[in-house]
């Protein structure tokens, strides 16, 4: 009677271990001020899901558009808008508002593979969520 239970536990463990882990999510809050975006730049990792939260401290409407992503967020005082994006390629991406001329940048770093190998392009960071 013990043998079927062990087989069942082994199958459940194996089946659960083969499911791919969802990509980690990084939450980024951006505040629009009369001087521009705060923060003006931030860093994420390749393949991470980035959840943006945007609000403003100024009365005039503003926005946040992310280059290469389908992200267009209104920035209104006292209200929070949100969107998600996944950056599949490393590099630098701009975020901006054409009306106010505010701008900033997102740096996307390459991730290290599961065996701990660094990418050929040089230094990279391992996000805590990939451990």
Confidence of residue 128 (pLDDT cuts 50, 70, 90): low
**Length of the chain as a residue count:** 131
Q: Could you tell me the residue range of the domain that residue 43 belongs to?
A: 22-130
User: Is 67 domain-assigned?
Assistant: yes
Number of domains in the chain: 1
Phi-psi region of 59 (alpha: psi -120 to 50; beta: other; left: phi over 0): alpha
Average pLDDT taken over every residue of the chain = 81
Per-residue pLDDT at 89 exceeds 50: yes
What integer pLDDT is reported at residue 112 of this predicted model?
Answer: 72
Confidence of residue 6 (pLDDT cuts 50, 70, 90): very low
User: Is 7 domain-assigned?
Assistant: no
What's the pLDDT tens digit per position in 34-80?
999 999 999 999 999 999 999 999 998 899 999 999 999 999 999 99
User: Is 119 domain-assigned?
Assistant: yes
Q: Tokens 């009306």 belong to which residue?
A: 99
What integer pLDDT is reported at residue 5 of this predicted model?
Answer: 44
- Read off the CATH number of the domain in which 64 is found: 2.60.40.420
User: Is 63 domain-assigned?
Assistant: yes
């Amino acid at each position: 009677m013990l043998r079927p239970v062990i087989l069942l536990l082994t199958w459940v463990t194996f089946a659960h271990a083969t499911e791919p882990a969802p990509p980690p999510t990084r939450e980024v809050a951006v505040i629009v001020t009369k001087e521009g975006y705060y923060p003006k730049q931030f860093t994420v990792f390749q393949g991470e899901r980035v959840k943006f939260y945007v609000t403003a401290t100024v009365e005039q409407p503003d926005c946040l558009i992310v280059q290469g992503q389908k992200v267009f967020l209104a920035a209104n005082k006292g209200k929070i808008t949100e969107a998600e994006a996944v950056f599949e390629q490393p590099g630098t991406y701009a975020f901006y508002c054409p009306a106010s001329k505010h701008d900033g940048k997102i740096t996307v770093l390459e991730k290290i593979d599961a065996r701990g190998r660094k990418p050929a392009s040089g230094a990279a960071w391992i996000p805590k969520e990939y451990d």
